[in-house]
A and B are shown apart, each in its own frame.
Chain A
Amino acid sequence: MNLGASVRSRDWDEVVDALGQARVAVLPGDGSTHVPELHLNEPRRGWAAFRITFRAMFLEEWRETVDFAQARQIILFPLLLSLITAVTTIGLQFLVGTGAAQVSDIDERTFSWDQLRIGVHLPLLMFSLGMGTFAFKGQEAIMQRTGSKNRLLAAPALQPLTTSAAHFTYFVKDLIYYVLLILTPIVAGMSVGLILDEAGLIQTPLEWSSVFWTWAAMATTLAEGLALAFLGSVLWLRGRPFTWLGPVAAVAVGLSAGVGLFPWDMALVGLAVQRHHALMPLLFGIVGAGLLGALASSLLVDDFEVKVTSKKNLLNPAMRRLRFLGTGPLRLLVAKEFVDLIRSGTMKKMTVSYSVPLLVLLGMAWLIDFAEAPIPINLLSYAPFLGFFGFNFYSWLTILDDPDFMNGLPLRVPQLLRAKVVVYFLATSWISLIFFVLMAWRLDEWAALPTGLAVMFANSIYIVALTAFLMGLRPNKAIFDGRIMFWFWLGTVLPLLGLFLLSFTQGDVELYGNWWERVSEDGLSATATAYDLEMVRGGYLGILSISGGLLVGSAVLWALIDVRWGKKPFEN
């Protein structure tokens, strides 16, 4: 006889022994809950689920981008990319030396086509490695789903969709989104350059046959980077020993390729596609990236748990350590940001992600020094770039927590932005310092270290202040806003370029001579002449002036944050 519903509760220890095993084996269900007359919905799986989810995710991504940047700026962004690429296409002849009179040693002072190819694919790989940590994004989406913001990446918690399917779809969606919004405008810009060439208005060594292959090759590199970062993030979440497997393998592969143990083609398939214009590497790269993405997805487990953990109070100790920030809300906000960083486990992830580009830079410095490349790069050339990586770190800081709750507190957005800039500086300065000292040691340029540090920190502060001023709490979305990116480009590239070029007047000038002066006079036909002390002095003063200017600029931006963000609500 059926007595109706029943609930029975027992003590944990009654049911489970000390080893965590059930004292009495729990038998599988006997199908007694099967309702014969009930038609059960069969959830969409495989391609059908992918199609439905992809459509919704693409829409979600587009909406989120437009919501931040407004439609006008969204169109401006690819236009801007096309314009820059078109200008670059025109400038290609000078970059590769076909625009000047050919002399025997011209190749040494211009870039070879292959160097240009690496120059395109290596940064693209770095960018995609930074953007592809989908397992982390998924985990954040799951954690944040009970807040006011929710993403489709968290849909598997309630909907008939597996975590693997959702993440794989997200990976493909991101790849296609970047190809459409970034790579296609770049190729369109190349085409504009070619059309101008055919009209006889300019000259470019580029050929129409390169357009498709450049697009395909860049898409391959992008896919490879996204897939590798995806796999790395999945391995990291699976815990030890996988946590370290990803970063160690990435550094090992990078270094092996760097010292020539195997050709770059094998590590960077997109580069092989670009070099050989061949279908096989293209297929291998795209299918391989797809398979890597699928492997990463399959390693994910359905985990929608919000872990119940007890933690000691970190806020008060953090507050005590931050006494030097005074007694105002800045100290409190910085302390809160640090607690978020530590508790979310992001501190480790961010430190690794901040260190990887620096490791690459260190490797590059070593390679250039090792190969005695005829490029007048020295310690001061690297200093501004170390500061530039601050953008990534700041972006992470803005997605740690949903700041909506602050709308009800006596706080303003500029206060939080400033707190994030301070956190960035406190959290990364020591890493940058270590890397820069390592570089000084590697290049044996100790004398340039104090100036280099000043340049690096000035850049670092400036870049983050500029990012905070222009992008506020949503830098990840601002990268698709053409207007913001134009100002960001202008605000970063000009000082960076200035410092980079002026750095050539310093360092091992005895070897390279007055390279800068000669180039400015004779262009690409320049030849080294006598060592010029005045030029070195002038260059040095120029570097210090720009760095000082950046510090002043940072102070101005720091103040202007109030004007731009003072009346905005808290949202990221």
Chain B
Amino acid sequence: MVLRGVLIWGHRSVGGMSDRQLLVDAKDIGKRYGDFVALHPLDVRVHEGEFFGVFGPNGAGKSTFIKLLTGQLRPSIGRIEVLGIDAVADPQHLKANIGIVPESESPPSFLTPPEFLTFVASLRGLEDVEGKVDHWLSWFGLNEKRDTMCKDLSKGQRQKVMLASAFIHAPKLLFLDEPFANLDPIYQRKCREWLLDHVAKGGTIFLCSHVLESAERLCNRMAIINEGKVLAAGAIEELKLDGETLEDVFIRLVGHTIEEAEQIAGTDEEEE
């Protein structure tokens, strides 16, 4: 079911959705810097057990979208409620209960991986900090780098530390921005499997990427955005026209101007 500028996902791809708990509820969130609109107003509602992908070209507004939902940015307008927490009023409480892996951020340069993980686990008030730190260091194969300062790790190893810091408190909701960018294929697969398992157990994942392969492999729903606007959203199969690949969908939508893309959405609506 596709409406003009609005898409409501049906039950087809995820069964039993009606029983699922709403985890993210944002109303009219938008971000503007002076005259530049980074993100046009959005309404977002996401439930538990969803693997939700936000895809778009570089500079489309994906990171802004995720930063707003995670309390890293204050919206110019709108309100955001996540896990019952007002993300604007109490971002500290929100960050204690979600996991964030940003697109390009390293752990503190002069701490070792266990020191950084101990820091983030302690701030969240977790129990058995040492056990959790040991577990995730082993899981990511970082035991041999326990005494190495993060600045001296490779990009991939730093990314593993960031992922471990987001997983360490087993959050129900994870926000991942290009999480696999620097990982080797072995750990890409390992992480994908963990994330899918997490979702199967009721976790929810927001994934931002421009790698469409990730969408096909992981997401049960996705949105394609460009120039700060959602161009289309839905279950992947619903977005494809006859015989189209996901890449075709992406180019068809993003390759046009926004007005043209909206025109396409309007045509779809009339056809329905």
In the complex the two chains form, what is the Cα distance from A40 to B41 in whole Å? 29
Task: Select the residue from A41, A45, A148, A155 with max chain B CB neighbours within 10 A.
Answer: A41
B75, chain A: closest CB distance, angstroms? 10
Q: A40-B93, A149-B151 are in contact. Are A5 and B46 (CB under 8 A)?
A: yes
In the complex the two chains form, what is the Cα distance from A63 to B108 in whole Å? 11
> Would you give the 0/1 interface string for B34-50, flagging 1 where the beta carbon is closer than 8 Å to chain A?
10111011111111101
Which stretch, A258-266, A300-308, A429-437, touches the partner chain B? A300-308
> Would you give the 0/1 interface string for A285-304, flagging 1 where the beta carbon is closer than 8 Å to chain B?
00000000000000000101
Which stretch, A52-60, A354-362, A489-497, A555-563, touches the partner chain B? A52-60
Contact indicator B17/A52 (Cβ below 8 Å): no
In the complex the two chains form, what is the Cα distance from A36 to B93 in whole Å? 16
Contact indicator A159/B95 (Cβ below 8 Å): yes
The yes or no answer to B133 lying at the interface (CB within 8 A) is no
A67, chain B: closest CB distance, angstroms? 7
Q: Choose one: B24, B67, B119, B150; the contact of A33 (CB below 8 Å).
A: B24
Which residues of A (6-54) have their CB < 8 Å from a CB of B? 6-12, 14-16, 22, 26-35, 38, 40-45, 48-49, 52-53
Cβ contacts under 8 Å, A151 to chain B = 108-110
Which residues of A (499-519) have their CB < 8 Å from a CB of B? none
Q: Choose one: B67, B95, B150, B221; the contact of A43 (CB below 8 Å).
A: B95
Q: A9-B42, A12-B30, A28-B86 are in contact. Are A308 and B36 (CB under 8 A)?
A: yes
B239, chain A: closest CB distance, angstroms? 12
Cβ contacts under 8 Å, A520 to chain B = none
Nearest B-chain residue to A64, judged by Cβ: B110
> Would you give the 0/1 interface string for A145-163, flagging 1 where the beta carbon is closer than 8 Å to chain B?
1111111100101111110
Q: A33-B81, A40-B93, A41-B169 are in contact. Are A15 and B30 (CB under 8 A)?
A: yes
In the complex the two chains form, what is the Cα distance from A16 to B8 in whole Å? 24
The yes or no answer to A530 lying at the interface (CB within 8 A) is no
Contact indicator A29/B79 (Cβ below 8 Å): yes
In the complex the two chains form, what is the Cα distance from A8 to B86 in whole Å? 20
The yes or no answer to A3 lying at the interface (CB within 8 A) is yes
Q: Which secondary structure dominates where chain A touches chain B?
A: loop
A312, chain B: closest CB distance, angstroms? 16
In the complex the two chains form, what is the Cα distance from A145 to B104 in whole Å? 8
The yes or no answer to B84 lying at the interface (CB within 8 A) is yes
The yes or no answer to A104 lying at the interface (CB within 8 A) is no
Number of residues of chain A lying within 8 A (CB) of chain B: 66
> Would you give the 0/1 interface string for B5-22, flagging 1 where the beta carbon is closer than 8 Å to chain A?
111111100100111111
Q: A6-B8, A67-B149 are in contact. Are A160 and B73 (CB under 8 A)?
A: no
Which stretch, B123-131, B134-142, B185-193, B209-217, touches the partner chain A? B123-131
In the complex the two chains form, what is the Cα distance from A7 to B234 in whole Å? 9
In the complex the two chains form, what is the Cα distance from A531 to B266 in whole Å? 98
Q: A12-B32, A59-B111 are in contact. Are A38 and B41 (CB under 8 A)?
A: no
The yes or no answer to A2 lying at the interface (CB within 8 A) is yes
The yes or no answer to A309 lying at the interface (CB within 8 A) is yes
Contact indicator B105/A158 (Cβ below 8 Å): yes
Contact indicator B30/A16 (Cβ below 8 Å): yes
Contact indicator B28/A308 (Cβ below 8 Å): no
Cβ contacts under 8 Å, B126 to chain A = 41
Q: Choose one: B7, B37, B86; the contact of A12 (CB below 8 Å).
A: B37
Contact indicator A32/B25 (Cβ below 8 Å): yes
Cβ contacts under 8 Å, A159 to chain B = 95, 119-120, 123
The yes or no answer to B264 lying at the interface (CB within 8 A) is no
Task: Select the residue from B11, B96, B124 with max chain A CB neighbours within 10 A.
Answer: B96
Nearest A-chain residue to B70, judged by Cβ: A158
Q: A7-B44, A63-B149 are in contact. Are A44 and B125 (CB under 8 A)?
A: yes
B243, chain A: closest CB distance, angstroms? 26
Q: 6 new A-B pairs (CB below 8 Å) besides A8-B5, A61-B110?
A: A3-B11, A8-B44, A32-B81, A38-B83, A38-B172, A160-B94
Chain B interfacial positions (CB closer than 8 Å to A): 5-11, 14, 17-25, 27-28, 30, 32-34, 36-38, 40-48, 50, 52, 67, 72-74, 77-86, 91-97, 100, 102-111, 115, 119-120, 122-126, 149-151, 165, 169, 172, 221, 223, 225, 229-230, 233
Chain A interfacial positions (CB closer than 8 Å to B): 1-12, 14-16, 22, 26-35, 38, 40-45, 48-49, 52-53, 56, 59-61, 63-64, 67, 145-152, 155, 157-162, 302, 304-305, 307-310
30 contacts between A and B (CB under 8 A): A2-B20, A2-B47, A5-B47, A7-B223, A8-B5, A9-B225, A9-B230, A10-B5, A12-B32, A16-B30, A26-B78, A26-B79, A27-B27, A32-B22, A33-B85, A40-B93, A41-B124, A56-B111, A56-B119, A63-B110, A64-B110, A146-B103, A146-B105, A148-B106, A148-B109, A149-B151, A150-B107, A152-B108, A305-B33, A309-B34
